[in-house]
Structure 1
Amino acid sequence: MNKQLILGLTIALGLTGCASNQSEPSMDLTDSRWYMTGDFYNIADIKLPAFTLEENDKGFKISGTTGCNNFFGQAEWNGKQLLVNQPIGMTRMLCDDMANKIEMEFIQALEEPLMSDGENLRLNNGAMFKRVPTN
Structure 2
Amino acid sequence: MYLKEHSPVYPVLDCGTVKMIKSGHIKVLPAIKHIEGDDVTFSDGRTQHFDAIVLATGYRSTVKRWLKGDDCLIDEAGMAKETYPNNWKGRNGLYCAGLARRGIYGSAEDALKIADDIADDHHKHTTQ
TM-score by length of 1: 0.23
Select the structure with the greater relative contact order (CA < 8 A; seq sep ≥ 6).
1
Give the helix-richer structure, 1 or 2. 2
Q: Which has the higher Rg, Structure 1 or Structure 2? A: 1
TM-score by length of 2: 0.23
Give the strand-richer structure, 1 or 2. 1
